[in-house]
Structure 1
Amino acid sequence: MADELGRIQRPTAGQYDGRRKLLLVPLVYGPQADNAEGVEVLQRYWEQMQAQVDALEEALGGLQHVYHESLTVGGDEGLQQLGAADQRSHGFITSKTQAGAFLETTEDMDVLLETLDLQRCMMIPLASASVGSRLQEWHSDSNRQRYEFIANQIDSTLGENETGLLLISERHQVQFPNDIEVFYVSPPALEEYRRWFQNWAEQQQAAAAAARG
């Protein structure tokens, strides 16, 4: 079971010597809307998350590997790919690579694209329940392959007595190897963001319903 930062004490020096460690960071995004409150809450989350990661990294003796969902290449090319997609992650991870960590290939291109295409297909209203069921099965299988690949990438690159950092959406289904000590980074602003996002989504739904009359 993952240890949750913000709810456990900071690990002592040497407590995890010889173990493989992974810092698990929930990757959250704001809605595509100009909402000052949402921007503020999201910024608070990123600031608190980075502070917790820095503190844990120091306690565990450094950071050697970084993994980020949707990255199909690593190294400098991976940083370029990330810079075009997510500026917050790009700035944060750049600081880690400049300090000596390596950005690893995290996803398989073909499997990732297949999963994304299936997600789009499942958003289309379908007349046939049979087609919907088959799409769901296909999507579930694609998701399984996706998360198995991520787990294997971490397992094959994270060495003994090393620490890695994984940024991935909260709904991920990655099953980590049993010999990896996982620390779930959960700053107070994460729960604050969840509450804000739920309220925002409810307001959007209410506004849409009112517009329909």
Structure 2
Amino acid sequence: MASSSAQSLHYAKAPRMDYAGVRLEQLSMDHAPDLIQLAANGQLDEAWFATTPSAESMRLDIQRRLALQETGEMAPFAIIDLSTGKAVGATTYLNIDAANHRVEIGSTFLAMPAQGTGINPAAKFMLLRRAFEELDCYSVAFCTHWHNAASRAAIARLGAKQDGVLRNHKYDPKSGTLRDTVMFSILPHEWPAVRTQLEARLARHGRI
């Protein structure tokens, strides 16, 4: 049986995955120019409750994600729009708990023009498929800010169930407020239905 650290490092791999005109690949500093340009042009969500990196902090954010990958805590991916070949965002498995076969999908940001195009559902499809069909996860979690109504609705549309709310969960230095975190999860027996509805959404976008 693999050691706990070896399991964590296995979960923290970020292999290339292609589906529905979208690619997920290992995040690297090579993606920084595309992501910095998006941020500099105001094409990333700057809502007060968002944790999207700025153009100035993008390289540091990528370095932070890669450092967490080295310790087995995160698997960071760049989101590539295959129609342009450019990075349009990033996403991760984070809070990896390999011993309990659990990951969280989050730390995601996506260019505003790419939103509503099917890119995000395609990325979620690939992450969930790997989690349940390759990593044998017992649970995949999603967490968001209580005030991020759009994110809460998007997670619910995936078919995730709300587990609860952690009140005063984190201090948010951006807003100077305490964050209530809404917790959701998808379990293995729910994945077939989630997979079917994601495929239907991608078909409506003309991606499959």
Superposition TM-score, scaled by structure 1 size: 0.32
Superposition TM-score, scaled by structure 2 size: 0.33
Higher fraction of strand: 2
Higher fraction of helix: 1
